[in-house]
Homo-oligomer: A and B are copies of this chain.
Amino acid sequence: MGKYHHGDVRNVLLQQAENILNEEGPSGLSLRRLARLTGVSEAAPYRHFDGKDGILAAVAIDAFERFAERLENVAANVQKHEERIMALGAAYVHFAVDFPQHFRLIFGRERPPLDQYPELREAADNAFDVLQRAVTSVNRRADMTLNEAATAYNRALAAWSRAHGIAMLVIDGMIVPPADQELDDFVLGLLAEDLTAPENS
């Protein structure tokens, strides 16, 4: 009775899952509803994914890849070290603003456990490697002292956490970027603030 091979059911499910996720977040994504919307029986998704976590993992992998791609592009196109750090931070936040649910998924606790999905772990490691490499590359020289290396590492962490904090607070609506300014400029301004500088900047 049922139609078989309506096309690439797996991809249709995945695409539909991304749509739902974008609008309602991971908790609003119900497997049964997903199946219904896709026009397939309620148990069909289990033939293509390892349950709900499996679908979330697939979406997260996709998100990690797009995320890494963007960062790589930016890192490759900005030569000067300081500028590259800044540009990466801006791109980081920009991605979060463009795909807030995906961003939350890859960082939040609804992300399926990395050790249960090797491809997910790989995608995650790759994205963070891109980030870390791009930030520390210039600093990592053979003749660095231990202290200098530690400093370079701290810089990477500082840059990363700043971008992450801005991203989170913006997509949570706690920080509202000014309407009369480009998002990137706003982010660059925040990243460049030096809290130890005198007050009259």
A interface residues, Cβ below 8 angstroms from B: 25, 27, 81-82, 85-86, 104, 107-110, 128, 138-139, 148, 151-152, 154-155, 157-169, 172, 174-175, 189-197, 199-201
Contacts and interface: CB of A to CB of B under 8 A. Distances in A.
Given A25-B109, A160-B175, 7 more contacts: A104-B109, A154-B189, A158-B193, A161-B168, A161-B175, A164-B165, A164-B168
Contacts of A168: 107, 161, 164-165, 168
7 contacts: A128-B174, A154-B190, A158-B162, A161-B162, A161-B165, A162-B162, A163-B165
Contacts of A151: 201
Contacts of A154: 189-190, 193
A9 to B, nearest CB: 28
Q: How many copies does the complex hold?
A: 2
A166 B27 CA distance: 25
Contact of A148 (B82, B158, B200): B200
Nearest to A86: B195
A83 to B, nearest CB: 10
